Amino acid sequence: MMEFFAEHGNELLIKTWEHFYISLAAILLGVIVAVPLGILLSRIPNVADRLISFIGILQTIPSLAILAFFIPLIGIGKIPAILALFFYSLLPILRNTYIGVRDVDRGVVEAGKGMGMNSWQAIIKMELPLSLPVIMAGIRLSTVYLIGWAALAAFIGGGGLGDFIFDGLNLYQPSLILAGTIPATILAVIADRSLAVMESKLTPDGVKDSYETA
């Protein structure tokens, strides 16, 4: 073990950072796109069901095929890897945002509007806080999945811990496979726990209590 860290310690730190960076960039893009789109779709449910189903069908395409698809379009490296992972982050976040906002008690929203809120204020101050636990569940699910899938970035030169895994498979060295797998697992657990803490701090107490007693 000590010999491995002496030989690969610096590289392990670099690959772990690359893995984290790729995953974080993809999930942030997913949140930026999917949350507003989910809110919009909650206003047009007929379109929402079709679009979410369509995205679900697209996501049945193997991730390696998606990565390979981006190569002739934008080449190899981190950017194609981030875009491919972003594509896979969309469905859980989009679906949960749509469901969460759709299921907010419309009477509460109308009461807020009756107090002088416009549509934008109602979204920010009422709909998003009330649907936050459902939205965060989608974000947490996407984050854990993406950290695992980010290992495939090595397939197109994106770096990350997948480099260790692929090298270990090619060279028949279990130590390299473990060096890629264990840090990725730890990253996923830390990310999930961190998002759970964030969710707890951001969710209003009344909403939190209602989900705990549901």
- Give the chain's domains with CATH numbers: 2-207 (1.10.3720.10)
The pLDDT assigned to 105 comes to 81
Would the CA dihedral through 64, 134, 25, 187 be positive or negative?
negative
Segment 61-67 mean pLDDT = 74
Overall average pLDDT of the 94-122 stretch: 82
pLDDT digits (tens, 9 = 90+) for 19-44: 999 999 999 999 999 999 999 998 88
Those residues whose C-beta lies under 8 Å from the C-beta of residue 140, and which sit 6 or more positions away, are: 192, 195, 196, 199
pLDDT at 109: 75
pLDDT digits over 162-207, tens only? 888 888 888 888 888 888 899 999 999 999 999 999 888 877 665 5
Report the sign of the C-alpha dihedral through residues 72, 73, 78, 81, in that order.
Answer: negative
